[in-house]
Amino acid sequence: MSGNNVRLQAIKDVEAYVPPTPIHAEETPGDIFGENVFSIQVMQRRLPKSVFKSVIATIERSEPLDPLVADAVASAMKDWAMEKGATHYAHVFYPLTGLTAEKHDSFLDPVGDGSAFASFSGKTLIQGEPDASSFPNGGLRQTFEARGYTGWDVMSPAYVLENPNGNTLCIPTIFISMTGEALDHKTPVLRSQQAMSMQAKRVLRLFGHEDPDNVVAYCGPEQEYFLIDSHFFLARPDLLNAGRTLFGARPPKGQEFDDHYFGAIPSRVLGFMMDTERELFKLGIPAKTRHNEVAPGQFEIAPMFERANEASDHQQLLMTTFKSVAKKHGMECLFHEKPFDGVNGSGKHVNFSLGNAAQGNLLLPGDNPHDNAQFLVFCGAVIRAVHKYGGLLRVSVASASNDHRLGANEAPPAIISIFLGDQLADVFDQIAKGGATRSKEKGTLTIGVDTLPDLTKDPGDRNRTSPFAFTGNRFEFRAPGSMQTVAVPMVMLNTIMAEALDFCATTLEKAVAAGTDFNEAVQTLLADIVAEHGAVIFNGNGYSEEWPIEAEQRGLKNLRTTVDALPELISAEAIELFGTYEVFSEREMHSRYEVGCEQYILTVSVEANLTLEMGTTTVLPAAIRYQTELAANVAALKAAGVDADTSTLESVSAPIAALRAGLATLADAIAHDHHDDPLATATAIRDTVLPAMAQVRGAADALEGLVADDLWPLPTYQEMLYIL
Ligand code: ADP
Ligand code: MG
């Protein structure tokens, strides 16, 4: 019988697995970095001077790309790509599913006489028509306007993606409807970037920078992920179809020993990491650190920060690269936020700062009072933004999968607050008290501090329980989930910062026009911000039981689940904000809200049906087989006149009955979860389907601890997490 047991077979296969021969690469990382990228340097070498200048103007100053220039770029790009072995090109775009999509076309066009010629013009470069009408659009595309268009994002370089079967030139694009509405995650990044820059420049001008360059948002994402052996992955329909285990008892040995965290990386995993880093380097993705994470089988990679737009494209590319390289090493890379219950989940901390080459990092304290005043205004803007629009930050990280992580006792709480650290919090404290220590020297008001202390704190000192923490020269948004695109939180951050910087600039401009001394005006502005928005600053323990109570008294939102958070997208305040800064129209906001509901419903529905199916066809039969064995044993003993102990049989029969009852409840919940309003359906799913799934799982996990090992069909946590 055990010959058919997929779990036992998987264990044998894992034991027999031989990893691929390691590549002993001759080259150094420096040799291959950016090798497959049509970078600015490549363009400079290959494009006529005037064409190159025009492309740079587009990249640096967001000027529209001249169609004639596009033809020249396309021709150079095609030659370069074909030299690199590319036979096809693809417009790569980022639909609202959060995944990456590609439409591939061949460079070769067949001609009537049986031959083919290579065609790739400026028009094909700057516009594609993937149609792609099946992607979610939240009602933006009616049939009469069903076409979707892709357009090259000049800011994000094209690259060649290698594959054993042939290479492809990939062109990062935006994806919009015929009417110009955004159907993707890239378009709003570009729009919000522009909005934020415009307001940040107003503030910089007030600080005496006459003609500041565009200010960009930087993003450094820290990606957590799990690796498990492919044989186990394939033996788990839940991992395969839902990305997380819907069944599985906690292992006897959990993560409480912390023996995996920052421990030695298993050699098979190290091979994978080296291989991924080579691939990432070729694509110009600056992978930097790698280490084990808290949970067994969990790891992290943090590429160097880049401009938000590039960072977000690179982040998507990193995830697809990890998936494919893991397969090559006989493993599966899991990006789900909570693949294993009771084991640490995975996040994607988004490190965020603002700046440009000329002014440097605007969230870095300076070494003179003037620079510090400017730094404090940018920090003040962050405080206002996060307080005023905490709900939007919350919804930017909301998903059915991240719900398993946020608010649980290991990840940041669902309440959005800011951790400033003792020193910066103290500075703002002084400012709030009206600049008690302020003194006027050399015409400079020191707003409480002559020179700021070195705000960089050692990592051990950082508050890991805060969802939004100042870490010396940037803010770290810790709520984003491991699976999601960083584009969404970056759009929120840019847009709420645009509003806050607009407010700061307007206030200061007015004060100065009214004859107030500039430094005095800065002091007043910051004091007012602390008075109005200081409630969002929280340096305490975000995991404590008291925090939700205190947060409520402070008026901070506690949007526990995605269903609670989604309406934030269509609040009057949000629609006004996004409309004012031309990031989203009201229609686009509604479309995103609807897609959010749809995705939630879809995700949980798939899981619910899988739970029903696996519970019925995998777990229950195994349990019944064991029950039958036990019953036969009792009957045989009785027939032999031996006093039969029926307690084992009874202990199995009880959870079998509970499993049956759970499956019936779940089937009923699934049958009755549909409502006309998508949010009502999502609410019903959260309130009836999820608890029914938990009921099924509870019974099944109890059975896992009872049923004979050779009958248990699903690889256990112990096996999946520890055999690497
Ligand atoms: P930790 O785990 O201590 O938070 P990591 O080294 O794992 O630190 O990751 C830090 C991330 O923050 C990296 O992606 C890094 O590039 C990024 N980062 C550093 N400085 C900035 C900055 N000024 N703006 C945005 N991101 C930054
Ligand atoms: Mg880290």
Half-sphere exposure (CA, 13 Å, Cβ side) for 97? 12
pLDDT at residue 462, as a whole number: 65
**Residue 349 in 3-state DSSP?**
strand
Ligand 1, atom nearest to 364 Cα: 23
Ligand 2 centroid from CA 312, angstroms: 18
Distance, CA of 666 to CA of 668 (rounded, Å):
5
Give ∠ CA 241-597-383 in degrees, rounded to 5. 110
> Dihedral (C-alpha) 674, 676, 680, 685: value to the nearest 10 degrees?
20
CA dihedral (281, 287, 290, 295) positive or negative = negative
Rounded CA-CA distance 9/713 in Å is: 10
Residues 6+ apart with CB under 8 A from 21: none
Amino acid at 623: A
Is there an atom of ligand 1 within 6 Å of 460 CB? no
Pairwise CA distance, residues 478 & 20, whole Å: 36
Whether the CB-CB separation of 8 and 34 falls below 8 Å is answered with no
Q: Which residues pair with 216 in a beta bridge?
A: 355
Task: Specify whether the CB–CB gap between 656 and 620 falls below 8 A.
Answer: yes
Compute φ and ψ for 74, nearest 5 degrees.
-60, -45
Binding site membership of 291 for ligand 1 (Cβ less than 6 Å): no
Which residue in 249, 245, 334, 343 sits closest to 296, CA to CA? 343
- Nearest ligand (C-alpha, residue 490): 1
Distance from Cα 37 to the centre of ligand 1, integer Å: 24
Tell which one of 378, 474, 475, 497 to mutate to probe ligand 1, the residue whose CB is within 8 A of the most ligand atoms: 474
Our answer on whether the CB atom of 313 is closer than 6 Å to any ligand 1 atom is no
Cα of 346 from ligand 1 centre, angstroms: 17
Ligand 1 contact, 351 CB (< 6 A):
yes
Q: Is 222 in the pocket of ligand 1 (CB under 6 A)?
A: yes
Q: With CA atoms as reference, report the closest residue to 399 among 502, 492, 282, 481.
A: 481
Reduced to 3 states, what is the DSSP secondary structure of residue 455? coil
Give the gyration radius of the chain's Cα atoms.
Answer: 28
Nearest CA to ligand 1 atom 24: 353
- With a 6 A CB cut-off, is 314 part of the ligand 1 pocket? no
pLDDT tens across 69-110, in order? 889 999 999 999 999 999 999 999 999 988 888 888 888 766
How far is residue 421's CA from residue 479's CA, in Å, rounded to a whole number? Answer: 18
| Dihedral sign, Cα of residue 696, residue 698, residue 699, residue 705 | positive
Q: What are the beta bridge partners of residue 537?
A: 418
- Asked whether 186 lines ligand 1 (CB < 6 A), one says no
* Domain ranges within the chain, ordered by starting residue: 33-184, 189-221+356-584
Q: Where are the beta strands (DSSP E) in 410-528?
A: 418-419, 440-441, 444-445, 468-470, 475-477
Tell me which residue of 147, 141, 156 sits closest to 62, measured CA to CA: 156
3-state secondary structure 16-37: HCCCCCCCCCCCCHHHHCCCCE
- Taking the CA atoms of residue 282, residue 283, residue 287 and residue 290 in that order, the dihedral angle to the nearest 10 degrees is -70
210 secondary structure, DSSP code: S
- Report the sign of the C-alpha dihedral through residues 402, 580, 56, 106, in that order: positive
Residue 334, helix vs strand vs coil:
strand
Which atom number of ligand 1 is nearest to the Cα of residue 221?
14
Q: Which residues of the chain have pLDDT under 70?
A: 1-3, 22-25, 109-118, 131-132, 141-146, 252-265, 289, 294, 409, 435-462, 723-724
| Contact between residue 659 and residue 640 where contact means Cβ atoms under 8 Å apart | no
Query: 376: closest CA among 495, 298, 470?
Result: 470
Q: What letter would DSSP give residue 384?
A: H
To the question of pTM greater than 0.85 for the whole model, the response is: yes
Q: What is the pLDDT of residue 459?
A: 41
Extract the tokens encoding 424.
Answer: 């910066």
Q: 511 is written with which tokens? A: 């004060």
Atom of ligand 1 nearest to the CA of 363: 23
Give me the residues paired with residue 232 across strands.
none
Ligand 1: residue of 290, 309, 314, 351 to mutate (most ligand atoms within 8 A of CB) is 351
The residues near 294 (Cβ < 8 Å, ≥ 6 apart) are 255, 258, 260, 261, 344, 410
SS3 for 260-321 is CCCCCCCHHHHHHHHHHHHHHHHCCCCEEEEEECCCCCEEEEEECCEEHHHHHHHHHHHHHH
Pair of tokens at residue 421: 């650290």
Distance in angstroms (rounded) separating the CA atoms of residues 318 and 332: 14
Mutate-to-test residue for ligand 1 from 216, 222, 285, 293, highest number of ligand atoms within 8 A of CB: 222
Distance from C-alpha of 494 to C-alpha of 498, rounded to nearest angstrom: 6
CATH topology of domain 33-184: Ubiquitin-like (UB roll) (3.10.20)
CA 174 to centroid of chain Cα atoms: 19
CB 77 within 8 A of CB 53: no
**In 129-211, at which residue ranges do the beta strands (DSSP E only) sit?**
148-152, 159-161, 167-177
Q: Indicate whether residue 358 lines ligand 1 (CB < 6 A).
A: no
CA–CA dist 209, 565 (Å, integer) = 40
Ligand nearest to the CA of 216: 1
Q: Closest-lying ligand to the alpha carbon of 302?
A: 1
Residues forming beta bridges with residue 106, ordered by sequence position: 88
Strand-pairing partners, residue 333, are 227
Backbone angles phi, psi at 360, to 5 degrees: 70, -160
| DSSP 3-state of 167 | strand
CB 275 within 8 A of CB 267: no
- CA of 222 relative to ligand 2 center, distance in Å: 6
Check pocket membership of 459 for ligand 1, CB cut-off 6 A. yes
Ligand 2 centroid to Cα of residue 383, in Å, is 23
**Nearest CA to 697 among 242, 448, 341, 233?**
341
223 CB near ligand 1 (under 6 Å): no
Nearest CA to ligand 1 atom 17: 220
Tokens for 550, please give them: 């205190």
Quote the Cα angle for 626-629-633, to 5°: 140
Nearest to 401 by CA among 582, 568, 242, 193: 242
Cβ(98) – ligand 1 distance below 6 Å: no
Tokens of 692: 């029914």
216 lines ligand 1 (CB under 6 A): no
361 lines ligand 1 (CB under 6 A): yes
Q: How far is residue 200's CA from residue 585's CA, in Å, rounded to a whole number?
A: 22
Cβ neighbours of 604 (radius 10 Å): 24
Which of 501, 519, 540 minimizes the C-alpha distance to 204?
Answer: 501
Instruction: Please enumerate in sequence order all residues whose Cβ is within 8 A of that of 224, keeping only pairs 6 or more positions apart, or say none.
Output: 293, 298, 299, 300, 346, 347, 348, 482
User: Going by CA atoms, what residue is nearest to atom 14 of ligand 1?
Assistant: 220
What is the model's pLDDT at position 113? 67
Nearest to 330 by CA among 260, 237, 232: 232
